A and B are shown apart, each in its own frame.
Chain A
Amino acid sequence: MLTKRIIPCLDIKNGRTVKGVNFVDLIDAGDPVELAKIYSKEGADELVFLDITATEEKRKTLLELVSRVGESINIPFTVGGGISSVEDVDLLLKAGADKVSINSAAVKNPDLINRLADKFGSQCIAVAIDAKQIDGEWKVHLVGGKVPTEIDLFKWAKEVGRRGAGEILFTSMDNDGTKSGFANDALAKMNSLVNIPIIASGGAGNILHFVDCFEKSNVDAALAASIFHFKEVEIKELKQELSRKNIAVRF
Protein backbone atom coordinates (compact mmCIF):
# COMPACT_ATOMS: atom_id res chain seq x y z
CA MET A 1 0.00 0.00 0.00
CA LEU A 2 1.18 3.48 -0.86
CA THR A 3 1.71 5.47 2.35
CA LYS A 4 1.00 9.10 3.16
CA ARG A 5 4.19 11.13 3.18
CA ILE A 6 5.49 13.45 5.89
CA ILE A 7 7.79 16.13 4.55
CA PRO A 8 9.87 18.60 6.59
CA CYS A 9 10.70 21.80 4.73
CA LEU A 10 13.97 23.67 5.22
CA ASP A 11 14.32 27.32 4.24
CA ILE A 12 17.77 27.97 2.85
CA LYS A 13 19.59 31.27 2.54
CA ASN A 14 23.16 31.44 1.26
CA GLY A 15 23.54 27.72 1.84
CA ARG A 16 22.37 27.85 5.48
CA THR A 17 19.09 27.03 7.17
CA VAL A 18 17.12 30.03 8.32
CA LYS A 19 13.86 30.68 10.14
CA GLY A 20 14.46 29.34 13.59
CA VAL A 21 15.82 25.88 13.96
CA ASN A 22 16.07 24.43 17.40
CA PHE A 23 17.89 21.15 17.54
CA VAL A 24 19.52 21.24 20.92
CA ASP A 25 21.73 18.27 20.25
CA LEU A 26 23.18 19.88 17.16
CA ILE A 27 26.32 21.97 17.36
CA ASP A 28 25.72 23.77 14.10
CA ALA A 29 21.98 24.09 13.71
CA GLY A 30 22.31 26.11 10.54
CA ASP A 31 23.83 23.38 8.40
CA PRO A 32 21.12 22.02 6.13
CA VAL A 33 23.04 18.81 5.53
CA GLU A 34 23.15 17.94 9.23
CA LEU A 35 19.45 18.67 9.55
CA ALA A 36 18.68 16.61 6.47
CA LYS A 37 20.49 13.64 7.99
CA ILE A 38 18.58 13.96 11.26
CA TYR A 39 15.20 14.18 9.54
CA SER A 40 16.09 11.25 7.34
CA LYS A 41 16.97 9.16 10.41
CA GLU A 42 13.81 10.23 12.23
CA GLY A 43 11.64 8.84 9.45
CA ALA A 44 10.88 11.78 7.16
CA ASP A 45 9.64 10.44 3.83
CA GLU A 46 11.11 13.25 1.76
CA LEU A 47 12.63 16.67 2.28
CA VAL A 48 11.99 19.99 0.60
CA PHE A 49 14.67 22.68 0.41
CA LEU A 50 13.32 26.10 -0.34
CA ASP A 51 16.05 28.49 -1.42
CA ILE A 52 15.26 32.06 -0.49
CA THR A 53 18.63 33.54 -1.37
CA ALA A 54 18.46 36.58 -3.59
CA THR A 55 22.06 37.14 -4.57
CA GLU A 56 24.01 36.54 -7.75
CA GLU A 57 26.09 33.91 -6.00
CA LYS A 58 22.91 32.00 -5.54
CA ARG A 59 23.26 29.25 -8.09
CA LYS A 60 26.74 28.16 -7.16
CA THR A 61 26.06 28.01 -3.42
CA LEU A 62 22.81 26.18 -3.96
CA LEU A 63 24.30 23.62 -6.34
CA GLU A 64 27.08 22.85 -3.88
CA LEU A 65 24.52 22.39 -1.16
CA VAL A 66 22.36 20.12 -3.34
CA SER A 67 25.35 17.88 -3.99
CA ARG A 68 26.24 17.71 -0.30
CA VAL A 69 22.67 16.80 0.59
CA GLY A 70 22.48 14.21 -2.20
CA GLU A 71 25.67 12.57 -0.96
CA SER A 72 24.44 12.44 2.60
CA ILE A 73 20.87 11.18 2.60
CA ASN A 74 19.11 8.16 1.14
CA ILE A 75 15.60 9.59 0.81
CA PRO A 76 14.29 11.81 -2.00
CA PHE A 77 14.51 15.57 -1.83
CA THR A 78 13.02 18.47 -3.74
CA VAL A 79 14.62 21.84 -4.35
CA GLY A 80 12.55 24.97 -4.94
CA GLY A 81 12.92 28.71 -5.03
CA GLY A 82 13.57 31.02 -7.96
CA ILE A 83 13.69 28.26 -10.60
CA SER A 84 12.69 29.72 -13.95
CA SER A 85 14.30 27.81 -16.81
CA VAL A 86 15.12 24.40 -18.26
CA GLU A 87 18.77 25.15 -17.55
CA ASP A 88 18.10 25.83 -13.85
CA VAL A 89 16.39 22.45 -13.54
CA ASP A 90 19.07 20.63 -15.51
CA LEU A 91 21.80 21.91 -13.18
CA LEU A 92 19.85 21.03 -10.02
CA LEU A 93 19.03 17.50 -11.18
CA LYS A 94 22.62 16.94 -12.29
CA ALA A 95 23.82 18.14 -8.88
CA GLY A 96 21.70 15.41 -7.28
CA ALA A 97 18.22 16.84 -6.61
CA ASP A 98 15.44 14.30 -7.19
CA LYS A 99 12.73 16.82 -7.93
CA VAL A 100 12.34 20.53 -8.37
CA SER A 101 9.47 22.74 -7.44
CA ILE A 102 8.54 25.75 -9.55
CA ASN A 103 6.12 28.47 -8.55
CA SER A 104 5.99 32.03 -9.92
CA ALA A 105 7.79 31.12 -13.14
CA ALA A 106 5.05 28.59 -13.95
CA VAL A 107 2.30 31.17 -13.49
CA LYS A 108 4.11 33.75 -15.63
CA ASN A 109 4.96 31.17 -18.27
CA PRO A 110 2.74 28.07 -18.03
CA ASP A 111 4.48 26.47 -21.04
CA LEU A 112 7.50 26.01 -18.81
CA ILE A 113 5.64 23.16 -17.08
CA ASN A 114 5.17 21.35 -20.40
CA ARG A 115 8.76 21.87 -21.42
CA LEU A 116 10.14 20.66 -18.09
CA ALA A 117 7.83 17.63 -18.03
CA ASP A 118 8.79 16.70 -21.61
CA LYS A 119 12.49 17.05 -20.97
CA PHE A 120 12.87 15.60 -17.47
CA GLY A 121 9.64 13.63 -16.97
CA SER A 122 6.61 14.60 -14.89
CA GLN A 123 7.91 12.69 -11.90
CA CYS A 124 10.51 15.31 -11.04
CA ILE A 125 8.43 18.44 -11.64
CA ALA A 126 6.37 19.68 -8.71
CA VAL A 127 4.41 22.89 -9.07
CA ALA A 128 4.08 24.93 -5.89
CA ILE A 129 0.95 27.05 -5.55
CA ASP A 130 0.52 29.74 -2.88
CA ALA A 131 -3.05 30.93 -2.49
CA LYS A 132 -5.38 32.73 -0.15
CA GLN A 133 -9.05 33.61 -0.06
CA ILE A 134 -10.17 37.00 -1.28
CA ASP A 135 -13.89 37.62 -0.82
CA GLY A 136 -14.36 33.90 -0.39
CA GLU A 137 -12.50 32.96 -3.59
CA TRP A 138 -9.16 31.20 -3.55
CA LYS A 139 -6.68 33.27 -5.58
CA VAL A 140 -3.14 32.32 -6.58
CA HIS A 141 -0.38 34.58 -5.22
CA LEU A 142 3.15 35.07 -6.50
CA VAL A 143 6.63 35.91 -5.24
CA GLY A 144 6.35 34.05 -1.97
CA GLY A 145 2.76 35.16 -1.57
CA LYS A 146 3.42 38.89 -1.91
CA VAL A 147 1.74 39.52 -5.27
CA PRO A 148 -1.94 38.63 -5.72
CA THR A 149 -3.30 37.49 -9.08
CA GLU A 150 -6.79 37.01 -10.48
CA ILE A 151 -6.08 33.32 -11.09
CA ASP A 152 -8.48 30.87 -9.47
CA LEU A 153 -6.64 28.27 -7.38
CA PHE A 154 -8.64 25.27 -8.60
CA LYS A 155 -8.54 26.20 -12.27
CA TRP A 156 -4.80 26.64 -12.00
CA ALA A 157 -4.38 23.33 -10.17
CA LYS A 158 -6.23 21.53 -12.98
CA GLU A 159 -4.19 23.29 -15.64
CA VAL A 160 -0.94 22.43 -13.88
CA GLY A 161 -1.94 18.76 -13.95
CA ARG A 162 -2.93 18.89 -17.61
CA ARG A 163 0.38 20.47 -18.53
CA GLY A 164 2.32 17.56 -17.04
CA ALA A 165 3.29 18.49 -13.49
CA GLY A 166 3.99 15.39 -11.39
CA GLU A 167 2.59 16.84 -8.17
CA ILE A 168 1.20 19.97 -6.57
CA LEU A 169 2.53 21.57 -3.40
CA PHE A 170 -0.33 23.75 -2.20
CA THR A 171 0.35 26.28 0.55
CA SER A 172 -2.64 28.03 2.04
CA MET A 173 -1.44 31.50 3.03
CA ASP A 174 -4.56 31.87 5.17
CA ASN A 175 -3.34 28.97 7.30
CA ASP A 176 0.42 29.35 7.03
CA GLY A 177 1.97 30.33 10.37
CA THR A 178 -1.34 30.12 12.25
CA LYS A 179 -0.79 26.64 13.68
CA SER A 180 -4.54 26.15 13.45
CA GLY A 181 -4.58 23.26 10.98
CA PHE A 182 -4.36 22.76 7.22
CA ALA A 183 -6.85 24.21 4.71
CA ASN A 184 -8.71 20.89 4.60
CA ASP A 185 -11.76 22.03 2.61
CA ALA A 186 -9.68 23.56 -0.17
CA LEU A 187 -7.36 20.55 -0.14
CA ALA A 188 -10.29 18.13 -0.38
CA LYS A 189 -11.75 20.09 -3.28
CA MET A 190 -8.42 20.19 -5.10
CA ASN A 191 -7.93 16.48 -4.46
CA SER A 192 -11.26 15.71 -6.12
CA LEU A 193 -10.38 17.82 -9.17
CA VAL A 194 -6.85 16.73 -10.06
CA ASN A 195 -5.35 13.31 -10.69
CA ILE A 196 -1.78 13.96 -9.52
CA PRO A 197 -0.43 13.75 -5.96
CA ILE A 198 -1.03 16.76 -3.70
CA ILE A 199 1.19 17.92 -0.84
CA ALA A 200 -0.60 19.98 1.81
CA SER A 201 1.29 22.88 3.33
CA GLY A 202 0.51 25.68 5.76
CA GLY A 203 -1.11 25.59 9.17
CA ALA A 204 0.24 22.50 10.93
CA GLY A 205 0.46 23.13 14.67
CA ASN A 206 0.09 19.68 16.22
CA ILE A 207 -0.25 16.00 15.45
CA LEU A 208 -4.04 16.11 15.21
CA HIS A 209 -3.84 18.63 12.38
CA PHE A 210 -2.07 16.02 10.25
CA VAL A 211 -4.65 13.36 11.16
CA ASP A 212 -7.44 15.81 10.28
CA CYS A 213 -5.81 16.75 7.02
CA PHE A 214 -5.44 13.18 5.77
CA GLU A 215 -8.89 12.13 7.03
CA LYS A 216 -10.73 15.11 5.60
CA SER A 217 -8.88 15.79 2.38
CA ASN A 218 -7.19 12.44 1.64
CA VAL A 219 -4.22 14.27 0.06
CA ASP A 220 -1.00 12.36 -0.49
CA ALA A 221 1.48 14.18 1.71
CA ALA A 222 1.77 16.90 4.31
CA LEU A 223 4.59 19.38 4.71
CA ALA A 224 5.61 21.54 7.65
CA ALA A 225 8.62 23.52 8.78
CA SER A 226 8.90 25.16 12.18
CA ILE A 227 6.96 22.60 14.21
CA PHE A 228 9.52 20.01 13.15
CA HIS A 229 12.49 22.35 13.59
CA PHE A 230 11.37 23.28 17.10
CA LYS A 231 10.51 19.67 17.93
CA GLU A 232 6.93 20.62 18.72
CA VAL A 233 6.00 17.59 16.64
CA GLU A 234 8.32 14.58 16.42
CA ILE A 235 8.03 12.68 13.17
CA LYS A 236 8.07 9.29 14.86
CA GLU A 237 5.28 10.19 17.26
CA LEU A 238 3.30 11.76 14.43
CA LYS A 239 3.54 8.60 12.37
CA GLN A 240 2.54 6.42 15.31
CA GLU A 241 -0.59 8.49 15.79
CA LEU A 242 -1.43 8.42 12.06
CA SER A 243 -1.00 4.66 12.12
CA ARG A 244 -3.31 4.38 15.14
CA LYS A 245 -5.90 6.26 13.09
CA ASN A 246 -5.50 3.72 10.28
CA ILE A 247 -3.69 6.14 8.01
CA ALA A 248 -0.96 4.22 6.19
CA VAL A 249 2.53 5.49 6.92
CA ARG A 250 6.04 4.13 6.53
CA PHE A 251 8.19 3.33 9.54
Chain B
Amino acid sequence: MRIVIIDYGAGNVQSVMFALKRLGFKAKLSSNEEEIRRADKVIFPGVGHAKSAMCQLMEQRLDLLIPQLKQPVLGVCLGMQLMCNFSEEGETKCLGIFDLDVLKFKEGNKIPKIGWNNISDLKTPLFNKVEEGEFMYFVHSYYVPLAKETIAQADYGGCYSSAINKNNFYGCQFHPEKSGDAGEQILKNFLEL
Protein backbone atom coordinates (compact mmCIF):
# COMPACT_ATOMS: atom_id res chain seq x y z
CA MET B 1 0.00 0.00 0.00
CA ARG B 2 1.30 3.45 -0.91
CA ILE B 3 0.80 5.84 1.99
CA VAL B 4 1.77 9.45 1.51
CA ILE B 5 1.99 12.06 4.25
CA ILE B 6 1.64 15.49 2.71
CA ASP B 7 4.80 17.47 3.32
CA TYR B 8 4.21 21.21 3.32
CA GLY B 9 6.67 22.21 5.99
CA ALA B 10 4.04 22.43 8.71
CA GLY B 11 3.65 20.14 11.63
CA ASN B 12 5.79 17.49 13.22
CA VAL B 13 5.10 14.61 10.89
CA GLN B 14 7.61 12.35 12.60
CA SER B 15 5.11 11.10 15.17
CA VAL B 16 2.71 10.04 12.39
CA MET B 17 5.55 8.22 10.62
CA PHE B 18 6.49 6.45 13.87
CA ALA B 19 2.88 5.42 14.55
CA LEU B 20 2.54 3.92 11.05
CA LYS B 21 5.84 2.12 11.54
CA ARG B 22 4.52 0.58 14.77
CA LEU B 23 1.55 -0.68 12.76
CA GLY B 24 3.91 -2.20 10.21
CA PHE B 25 3.47 0.38 7.44
CA LYS B 26 5.95 2.63 5.80
CA ALA B 27 4.80 6.04 4.67
CA LYS B 28 6.40 8.49 2.30
CA LEU B 29 6.65 12.17 3.05
CA SER B 30 5.96 14.07 -0.16
CA SER B 31 4.84 17.34 -1.67
CA ASN B 32 5.00 15.95 -5.22
CA GLU B 33 1.65 16.19 -6.99
CA GLU B 34 1.98 12.94 -8.93
CA GLU B 35 3.13 11.02 -5.90
CA ILE B 36 0.22 12.29 -3.82
CA ARG B 37 -2.31 11.53 -6.59
CA ARG B 38 -1.03 7.98 -6.98
CA ALA B 39 -1.10 7.18 -3.26
CA ASP B 40 -3.64 4.67 -1.92
CA LYS B 41 -4.02 6.65 1.29
CA VAL B 42 -3.13 10.26 2.03
CA ILE B 43 -2.52 11.70 5.48
CA PHE B 44 -2.73 15.47 5.85
CA PRO B 45 -1.06 16.43 9.14
CA GLY B 46 -0.58 19.82 10.69
CA VAL B 47 0.20 21.76 13.79
CA GLY B 48 0.79 25.48 14.08
CA HIS B 49 -1.08 28.43 12.62
CA ALA B 50 -3.85 28.13 10.00
CA LYS B 51 -2.73 31.21 8.05
CA SER B 52 0.92 30.21 7.65
CA ALA B 53 -0.08 26.61 6.87
CA MET B 54 -2.45 27.80 4.09
CA CYS B 55 0.31 30.03 2.70
CA GLN B 56 2.66 27.08 2.56
CA LEU B 57 0.02 24.93 0.85
CA MET B 58 -0.61 27.65 -1.73
CA GLU B 59 3.09 28.11 -2.44
CA GLN B 60 3.26 24.47 -3.46
CA ARG B 61 -0.15 24.57 -5.18
CA LEU B 62 -1.30 21.83 -2.84
CA ASP B 63 -4.42 23.90 -2.09
CA LEU B 64 -5.66 23.03 -5.56
CA LEU B 65 -4.64 19.38 -5.42
CA ILE B 66 -5.99 18.25 -2.05
CA PRO B 67 -9.72 18.94 -2.69
CA GLN B 68 -9.48 16.90 -5.94
CA LEU B 69 -8.10 13.77 -4.32
CA LYS B 70 -10.24 10.64 -4.77
CA GLN B 71 -8.56 8.18 -2.38
CA PRO B 72 -9.19 8.23 1.40
CA VAL B 73 -7.63 11.34 2.95
CA LEU B 74 -7.18 11.80 6.69
CA GLY B 75 -6.63 15.31 8.02
CA VAL B 76 -5.22 15.41 11.54
CA CYS B 77 -5.69 18.36 13.92
CA LEU B 78 -4.87 21.49 11.89
CA GLY B 79 -5.06 19.28 8.79
CA MET B 80 -8.74 18.65 9.57
CA GLN B 81 -9.38 22.35 10.21
CA LEU B 82 -7.72 23.32 6.92
CA MET B 83 -10.16 21.09 5.04
CA CYS B 84 -13.00 23.38 6.20
CA ASN B 85 -14.16 26.61 4.57
CA PHE B 86 -12.80 29.24 6.87
CA SER B 87 -10.88 29.52 10.14
CA GLU B 88 -11.14 32.28 12.71
CA GLU B 89 -7.43 31.72 13.27
CA GLY B 90 -5.94 34.58 11.28
CA GLU B 91 -9.29 34.98 9.44
CA THR B 92 -8.06 32.36 7.01
CA LYS B 93 -9.83 31.06 3.93
CA CYS B 94 -9.20 27.32 3.87
CA LEU B 95 -9.64 24.46 1.38
CA GLY B 96 -13.44 24.34 1.45
CA ILE B 97 -13.82 20.57 1.27
CA PHE B 98 -16.20 20.74 4.24
CA ASP B 99 -18.70 23.59 4.22
CA LEU B 100 -17.88 24.33 7.86
CA ASP B 101 -16.19 27.14 9.76
CA VAL B 102 -13.49 26.75 12.39
CA LEU B 103 -14.12 28.83 15.53
CA LYS B 104 -12.02 29.83 18.52
CA PHE B 105 -12.85 28.27 21.90
CA LYS B 106 -14.77 30.74 24.04
CA GLU B 107 -13.28 32.54 27.03
CA GLY B 108 -13.74 30.59 30.22
CA ASN B 109 -11.94 27.59 28.83
CA LYS B 110 -8.18 27.28 29.04
CA ILE B 111 -6.67 27.80 25.62
CA PRO B 112 -5.06 25.73 24.17
CA LYS B 113 -7.06 22.72 25.24
CA ILE B 114 -4.40 20.13 26.05
CA GLY B 115 -5.01 16.59 27.18
CA TRP B 116 -7.14 13.47 27.00
CA ASN B 117 -10.85 13.78 26.27
CA ASN B 118 -13.38 11.03 25.64
CA ILE B 119 -15.04 10.86 22.22
CA SER B 120 -18.62 9.75 21.65
CA ASP B 121 -21.37 9.17 19.11
CA LEU B 122 -18.87 7.37 16.88
CA LYS B 123 -19.84 6.80 13.26
CA THR B 124 -18.27 5.29 10.13
CA PRO B 125 -15.76 2.42 9.88
CA LEU B 126 -13.02 4.84 10.98
CA PHE B 127 -14.09 3.91 14.52
CA ASN B 128 -14.34 0.14 14.07
CA LYS B 129 -13.31 -1.64 17.29
CA VAL B 130 -13.10 1.71 19.10
CA GLU B 131 -15.35 1.92 22.15
CA GLU B 132 -17.75 4.77 22.83
CA GLY B 133 -16.14 7.08 25.38
CA GLU B 134 -12.58 6.11 24.47
CA PHE B 135 -9.98 8.75 25.37
CA MET B 136 -8.02 10.60 22.70
CA TYR B 137 -5.24 13.17 23.00
CA PHE B 138 -6.20 16.71 21.95
CA VAL B 139 -4.14 19.88 21.59
CA HIS B 140 -5.97 22.79 20.00
CA SER B 141 -7.37 26.31 20.41
CA TYR B 142 -9.91 26.28 17.56
CA TYR B 143 -12.73 23.83 16.92
CA VAL B 144 -15.27 22.68 14.35
CA PRO B 145 -18.88 22.89 15.62
CA LEU B 146 -21.26 19.94 15.40
CA ALA B 147 -22.60 19.42 11.87
CA LYS B 148 -24.12 16.73 9.66
CA GLU B 149 -20.54 15.70 8.79
CA THR B 150 -19.72 15.02 12.46
CA ILE B 151 -18.68 11.40 13.06
CA ALA B 152 -17.40 11.82 16.64
CA GLN B 153 -17.96 14.42 19.35
CA ALA B 154 -15.96 15.78 22.24
CA ASP B 155 -16.84 18.30 24.92
CA TYR B 156 -15.08 21.46 26.04
CA GLY B 157 -17.57 23.96 27.39
CA GLY B 158 -20.01 22.46 24.86
CA CYS B 159 -19.96 19.65 22.33
CA TYR B 160 -18.07 19.98 19.07
CA SER B 161 -16.77 17.80 16.22
CA SER B 162 -13.84 15.65 17.20
CA ALA B 163 -14.00 13.94 13.80
CA ILE B 164 -15.74 14.69 10.49
CA ASN B 165 -16.32 12.85 7.22
CA LYS B 166 -17.52 13.70 3.74
CA ASN B 167 -17.07 11.25 0.86
CA ASN B 168 -13.42 10.18 0.86
CA PHE B 169 -12.33 12.92 3.26
CA TYR B 170 -11.91 12.23 6.98
CA GLY B 171 -10.66 14.58 9.65
CA CYS B 172 -9.90 14.11 13.30
CA GLN B 173 -9.21 16.91 15.72
CA PHE B 174 -7.35 14.64 18.14
CA HIS B 175 -3.99 13.03 17.43
CA PRO B 176 -4.57 9.32 16.74
CA GLU B 177 -0.81 8.86 16.50
CA LYS B 178 -0.49 9.95 20.14
CA SER B 179 -3.67 8.47 21.56
CA GLY B 180 -2.53 5.11 22.83
CA ASP B 181 -3.73 1.80 21.43
CA ALA B 182 -7.19 3.15 20.53
CA GLY B 183 -5.58 5.90 18.47
CA GLU B 184 -3.49 3.35 16.61
CA GLN B 185 -6.66 1.37 15.93
CA ILE B 186 -8.15 4.46 14.24
CA LEU B 187 -5.08 4.83 12.03
CA LYS B 188 -5.31 1.14 11.19
CA ASN B 189 -9.00 1.54 10.34
CA PHE B 190 -8.17 4.44 8.05
CA LEU B 191 -5.59 2.36 6.22
CA GLU B 192 -8.22 -0.36 5.77
CA LEU B 193 -10.89 1.95 4.31
Chain A residues packing against B (C-beta within 8 Å): 1-5, 40, 45, 67, 70-71, 74-76, 93-98, 118-124, 166-167, 195-197, 220-221, 250-251
Contacts of A251 in B (CB 8 A): 135
Assuming the contacts A2-B113, A96-B14, A123-B139, asked whether A74 and B47 have C-beta atoms less than 8 A apart, the reply is no
22 A-B residue pairs with Cβ-Cβ distance under 8 Å, sorted by A, are: A1-B155, A2-B156, A3-B117, A5-B115, A40-B180, A67-B14, A76-B175, A94-B12, A97-B12, A118-B49, A119-B48, A166-B114, A166-B139, A167-B114, A195-B107, A196-B110, A197-B110, A197-B115, A220-B110, A220-B114, A221-B115, A250-B135
Least Cβ distance of A170 to chain B in Å? 15
- Contacts from B to A (Cβ < 8 Å): 12, 14-15, 18-19, 21-22, 47-49, 107, 110-118, 135, 137-141, 155-156, 175, 177-181, 183-184
Q: Give the complex CA separation of A231 and B115 in angstroms.
A: 24
Q: Would A71 and B116 be within 8 Å (CB), given that A93-B12, A121-B47, A220-B110 are in contact?
A: no
Which one of B118, B137, B177 has the highest number of Cβ atoms from chain A below 10 Å of its Cβ? B137
Shortest Cβ distance from residue A184 to the other chain B in the assembled complex, whole angstroms: 18
In the complex, number of A-B residue pairs with CB atoms less than 8 Å apart: 97
In the complex, which of the residues B112, B117, B178, B179 contacts A1, with contact meaning CB atoms closer than 8 Å?
B117
Chain B interface SS verdict (over half): mixed
Q: Contact partner of B12 among A98, A167, A220, A221, CB < 8 A? A: A98
Q: Are B47 and A2 in contact (CB under 8 A)?
A: no
